[in-house]
Every structure is written in C-alpha cells, then in structure tokens.
Structure 1
C-alpha cells in the first residue's frame, strides 16, 4: 500500500514538473475584430495566428508553445484599455496590436505598467514610440515618413491643382492629414480647403458641395477605407471629378467593394508589399490555400510574432523585459519583412513608403499596385 502511495506521489511530481517544463507562452493579438475596421482586425489576427502555427510546428520558443489569445477593441480607446487590462490579468506576456493609433497609445501605458511588450503592425502615429516607454515597438512605418512621400508627390504632381485636405478627426487620420499638410505647405503648395468629418460618417454631400464650389480636383484623405470608399463613390455620383490620395488606412480590398469602379486611379502610400517578395512565396501560398489574402498588415502582424520569437531565442529567455532588450540590441531578425532591426525608440529600420495606385485588372478585379509598375 505504501509503495502504491509513493509511486502515485512520484508520478504526480513527474507530471507536474513535465507540465512546468512545457508551459505555454501567452501572446495576445488585439485589434478591431468587430466594427467598421474589422477587415484590418482580421489581418492582424490571421497574420499572428499563421506565424504562431509555423513557430509551434518548429518547436516553439525556448521550449514553450505559443498560445494566442484575441482581444477585440472595436477601434475604441476605452475598449482597448479593457482589452489591455484583461490581457494583463490573464498573464499575457507579449501583444501584437493594436491597429489604431488612438487605441494603441493608451493601451501601451497599461502594458508598460504590467511588464508586457507591445508590438503594433499598424499604428503609424509618431507619438506611439516618442514617449520613452521601454515596451513599445512597431513593424510598420510612421506618419511623418509616409506624409513626406505623399506630400512631395502632391507638390511635384499637382502643383497647379486645388487640393482639399480632409480627415476623420481620429488621432491617426487627422495626424496623417496634418503631417501631409505640413509637407505640402513647406513645398510652397497651399491647400484650397481643410475639413474634418466625423469618424463613421456616411453622407459626404456637404463636404463634396464645398469642394465643388472651391474647384477642388485632388483630395487628400486622412482616415480609413470605409469612409474613403463612400467619399470616392459619392464624389463620382455627384459629378466631382477629383482624384483621392490617402495613406495606409485605405489599404483593404473592401475599399473597392464600397467605392465600385470609381476606385480606379485612387492613390495611397504604403510600405513595400511583402507578398511580392519571392522569399515569402511559401508563406503567401499557405495563406492563399486557406482562402485568406495576406494583404496590407497581415504579414506585418506575422513579422511581429516572428520578431518576438527570434528575440526571445537570441536572449535565451521568454521574459518580456529581457526580450525587449534583445529587440533593441540584438537585431536584425529574419522576418517576412526582411531583416528587421529596431532603433532605441522601437521604430523599425525598414525601407520607406512608396505610392500605390488602384487599378482594374483584365478579369475585372480591383487591386492596388506600385505606381508605374
């Protein structure tokens, strides 16, 4: 009887030790799973999940399997803080997200206080990495980078045009519009009008009326694809022949579903498309085989998980503070975005933004491709 008890206790101890040795590494992915920006939330979620699957198939990170948990912030700052607090309570160590700058920034304070590393694939507002926090990184570029590309293009291409600058009054949308405005003003071009509309607006008749009265032929939009698609469609319907130029917020195939044929000719800035890199063919094929197009921020999210895993491996530790130090000091790390290293702020050392144009293909599909390609 005693031998049976001893064996049972021994077996329990061995199993307990085994479970500890094979603990899970909890990573959160946060973004707008619901709401008007849900297409981007899906990109972040799918990108992170496919990367996790690939890393776990190769043995995980320092002997631990990654478990991914999803938080829906609905692009709302208050809900984003709730997601951040839940992640902290659940023991999440790393977060991929959020999508919107207006959510990412307040959430980052929660993560910093709770020892959690945050790496956003999509929040481009400079302030995200300008506050001296130890825990913030991004795999995307910044508004002051893409606004320079957009602003110079506007000055060089439309110097004789009347340009309207419009935004959705969000930190990300207005921030990008304001940064671009600074560049075109510095280049000697003064906008014909500057207007803000409410996020979620569906009727742009008043704005379009003002633009027609002002003789506007180019519209720079700081905001998301949902409102941009409606604006493009309504400009066409109301007889305003103006070209829309925007930033990374409209990089979704949903834009064409909303705007219809009027989307052709629309321009936007974005980083080099990692889908076009031959080195990523196998990864892209995996997404396509699963019925998901890894457009826009999908592979930026994938890269965020890759960097976390690579930095942890180099550091020999899954402790967030140790991994953050490695991310700053031990790069570059291999990723679908190329060799990725970070500066002291947490911004990536990546190629700059380029201009894309929306076109209609021979088979009737609408796609965005590098301008002039």
Structure 2
C-alpha cells in the first residue's frame, strides 16, 4: 500500500468525522516518554512537534477555505499498554480528529482496538508488528516497514558478503512478544536462501537482566550471527554481557535497540558495528528533509534521529488528508463522500483489503536491488553509517503537494 493510498483512506474516514465547530484541529498523541520505550518515544514526539510547528508556521491547514492551526496534545503512557488505552480514551473525550501513536509494537497493538471502537483514525510509526494489520482494522494506518520485510533484507545482506566469508550459523535471541515471534519466523525462513543454519533459538522476557544462558549457548554453538529485537535497555545489557563472556559474533543484527542516541553514549566503542534496519535517515535527499534537519539540530544539537522522520511524515499525511476532506463537519462531509463512494467503490475496497498497514512502496527500509544498501551500523557519536545511494530512497517526510496532487487525480477518476 502506498503512502498516497493511506492519505486517501484517511480522507474518506476524516470526511465522516463528528460535527466540530473549532478554531483548531485537535490531534491527540499517546507516546511513551518514560519507561522502557522512553528514548524511542522522545524521537517520535520530536517528529510530531516539529511537523506541527512547521505546518502552523506556514499558516495551518486549509479547511473549506479557512486556515486552521493544528493543536497537538501529547500524553505519556509510561511504556504501559494499559495506560495507552486509558490515555486514548481521555483524548477521545476531548474530541480529537485523529490519534498519533507512540513507540513499540505492543503499545500500538493495544491502541488499534481503541481507535477502531472510537472510529478515530490512528497513525503509528516505530512499530513493525505485521499481525495487527491482518485483523481488518479500518482506522489503523502505519507508513512503516513490517516484520516480513526483514526476510528479503536478510537474504540480500548475506548474499552481498563474499561466499568464502559469509556467516554460516546463526543464533536468534527471541523476545517473548508477538513481534519477537514474527521476527524469529522471518529470520528462520530466510536461512535457506541466505545460506545459514539456525543453531540456537532461545526466548527471553522483555526487561530481562541476565542473557548469559543465551550467550553461552550461542558461543558454544559457534554461531556466526546473532539476530534480535531488544528494547534499547535490553540491547545494551545484551551487548555488555556478550563482551564480558568473550563472545564476538561475525555479525550482530539488533533491530530497535540501536535506534536511540543513548546507545552510543552508554556503550561507546562496544556499541559500534551493530547492524540495524534504519526506518529513516537524516541524509535522505527529499523535499522537507533539510528543513526538518535544521529545526531538529537547532532544538537538540545533533543529527535528526531515525524515528523522527517517520513521525514527522505522519503529521504531514494527516494534514494533507484533513485539507483534502475540506471539512470537519460530518454532514457536509457525508454528502460529498456519498458521491465519491459511488464513483470509487472499487478503489475503497482495494484500500480496505490491504489493511492500511502493509508496507508502503516508498517507505521501505531497503532497496532490494542493492544488497544491504540501507542496513546501517550504529557508530559512535550517535551517527548511522549508510552505504549505497539507495539508502537515500528510504522513508522520508513527504512534500504536502504529493498528497494534494494525488487526491486531485483521485477525485477526477
């Protein structure tokens, strides 16, 4: 599903939003600012805030000829799914037009049902759980890579290594979560085509303090690769204990943990050369990226973090959909939408059948034609080192005109 499809599907939902006589467009975000996902949540929050600031500085969102500013309300769920649900209900009572999600697949999974019940569109990044998009949710949108995308990425990465140097054995350190199981499946399925054998696969609970059992088994089996999806805290603990136990695999691929700046700060050189799938990168050459980087650098004094770009794009998608809907009034929106639904019934079914959460074509973490080009090693000083021009085609903040031109052509079909 393309990002433009997401914008159109949002348009159809937003044009049937409740009657609102407002001077602002209220948007509610539930983000983990504390707890185990706090560092990642901070990246997402920054993307939302900077996008809202940029849109409002430019005059706001045009709704039926009137410019309205976005009003962003952010609540901290403390990395607790129960509190995610409670905070979303609070925002619903405040009549937000849409929800913006936080960081972590388990929190997003909890949020999806609330959005569906309340019939409020929910946009989320920083979660790769695919299963949630197979449950028929109409109000869930996620312009972000998903677990099945890791299989071809892994195959391409391993095939890019000269045959004589290619790792042949692997250990999977599987987080005991739905996403952990999905990722373990992806890496197991990739084994045959990538040319490795899984020799160790063991589970651990999120927040575990001791990974020595998994590490000793992987070391004893001479596993050349270690795959995992730990939280930042779990990942740092894992790397420290691997060093203490004298285990240095040829390739360490940890998704999510190295995304945050504290990875380099806390681990120093021990955190170098960890392979990750970057959801976005500040070197992307695309409209809006320079402005985002300038605003982020001014506020935080460092390059824009990987999950800030996708979060920024979420707000752009939402603003474009609101502008295209042309009204926050259910009655006028419903009259206009009836005509569209008659002309585009097949198109709407197509969007719905894709579950709104399939990986967008232009939001892929890698270009599969160039093996390993978008896989990054986390280096010191919070930098991501990417190789290959295709890295610059990864997900980016999109130009608002992209969506307006598409919705115009959609209306003319």
Distance in 2 between the 1:162 and 1:274 partners? 34
Is it true that 1:310 corresponds to 2:320 in the alignment? yes
Q: Does 1:355 align with 2:375?
A: yes
Count of residues in Structure 1 that have an aligned counterpart in Structure 2: 336
Given that 1:275 and 1:284 are in contact with CA atoms closer than 8 Å, whether structure 2 keeps it comes out as: no
Aligned to 2:100: 96
SS at match of 1:313: helix
Q: Can you list the C-alpha shifts for 1:289-316, whole angstroms capped at 9, x where unaligned?
A: 1125421111111110111111111121
Q: CA deviation at 1:58?
A: 2.1
Corresponding position of 2:295: 286
* CA 319–76 in structure 1, closer or farther in 2 if over 3 Å, else same: farther
Give 1:135's match in structure 2, choosing from 139, 145, 160: 139
More deviation, 145-154/129-138:
145-154
State whether residues 174 and 223 of structure 1, in contact with CA within 8 Å, keep that contact through their aligned partners in structure 2.
Answer: no
Unaligned stretches of 5+ residues in structure 1: 1-19, 330-340
User: Mean alpha-carbon deviation: is it higher for 71-80 or for 181-190?
Assistant: 181-190
Further displaced range: 172-181 or 133-142: 172-181
* Match for residue 124 of structure 2 among 115, 120, 129: 120
For 2:221 and 2:150, the matched residues in 1 are separated by 27
Q: Is the 8 A contact 1:29 1:44 kept in 2?
A: no
User: CA distance change for structure 1 residues 130 and 249 in 2, over 3 Å: closer, same or farther?
Assistant: farther
Question: Structure 1 pair 96/201, CA: closer, same or farther in 2 (3 Å)?
Answer: same
User: Residue 145 of structure 1: CA displacement?
Assistant: 1.0
Other-structure match for 1:5 = none
State the distance in 2 between where 1:370 and 1:105 align: 30
Instruction: Give the TM-score normalised by structure 2.
Output: 0.74
8 Å Cα contact 2:280-2:309 kept in structure 1: no
Look up the SS of the partner of 1:35 in the other structure: coil
Which residue pairs with 2:272 in the alignment?
A: 264
Matches within 5 A, 1:188-203: 189-203=196-210
| Residue 253 (structure 1) shift | 1.8
The answer as to 2:30 corresponding to 1:27 is no
Matched, 1:369 2:391: no
Secondary structure, in 3 states, of the residue corresponding to 1:192?
A: strand
The secondary structure found in structure 2 opposite 1:33 is coil
- Counterpart of 1:215 in structure 2 is 222
C-alpha deviation, 1:247, in angstroms: 2.3
> Of residues 255, 261, 269 in structure 1, which corresponds to 2:263?
255
1:307-354, Cα deviation, whole Å (9 max, x unpaired): 11111111212469969x99xx9xxxxxxxxxxx99842233324222
TM-score by length of 1: 0.81
What SS does the corresponding residue of 1:258 show, helix, strand or coil?
helix
Q: Which residue in the other structure is 1:182 paired with?
A: 189
Kindly tell me: are residues 24 and 201 of structure 1, through their superposed partners in 2, closer, same or farther at Cα, counting changes over 3 Å?
same
Q: Secondary structure at the match of 1:86?
A: helix
Structure with more relative contact order (C-alpha pairs < 8 Å, separation 6 or more): 2
Which stretches in structure 2 are left out of the alignment for 5+ residues? Answer: 1-19, 345-350, 366-373, 390-413
Residues 169 and 196, structure 2, Cα contact 8 Å, conserved in 1: no
CA distance in 2 between counterparts of 1:255 and 1:95 reads: 29
CA distance in 2, matches of 1:90, 1:351: 32
- Let me know the Cα RMSD of the aligned residues: 2.8
C-alpha distance in structure 2 between counterparts of 1:254 and 1:146, whole Å: 24
Q: Give the Cα separation in 1 of the matches to 2:382 and 2:43.
A: 19
Preserved CA contact (<8 Å) 1:152 1:183: no
Contact 2:133/2:356, CA 8 A, preserved across alignment: yes
